Amino acid sequence: MKIKQTFSEGDLSRILEMAWEDRTPFEAIETLYGLNESQVIDLMRKEMKPSSFRMWRKRMASRETKHKALRSSEVKRAYCPTQYKR
């Protein structure tokens, strides 16, 4: 699946960061940036070293929190409360 959008460096960095975060579901990335899960995977493959991509894919395969439908109903947020310090 080809990614047809061009993202600013800041947006690209944020997409990659959100993809790495365990608690940020793919649906949040799609809502904010219009990339579905397979497009995020393609983007990560393109932007990362092969070994880092494999490590990321292995981690994501075991994370229920990356898929909103698989999440526990107890999870009400997409990030850790201490993630955004003020």
* pLDDT, tens digit (0-9, with 9 covering 90-100), for 12-67: 999 999 999 887 888 889 989 999 999 999 999 999 999 999 999 988 887 666 65
Range of the structural domain that residue 44 is part of: 9-66
Q: Is residue 17 domain-resident?
A: yes
Domain count, the chain: 1
Is 82 within a domain? no
In a domain, 78, yes or no: no
Per-residue DSSP letter, 14: H
Q: Is residue 25, in this structure, part of any structural domain at all?
A: yes
**Does residue 84 belong to any structural domain of this protein?**
no
53 is a domain residue: yes
Instruction: Identify whether the C-beta of residue 7 lies closer than 8 Å to the C-beta of residue 33.
Output: yes
Q: How confident is the model at residue 86 (pLDDT cuts 50, 70, 90)?
A: very low
pTM equals 0.70
Given a contact cutoff of 8 angstroms between Cβ atoms, the answer to whether 39 and 3 are in contact is yes
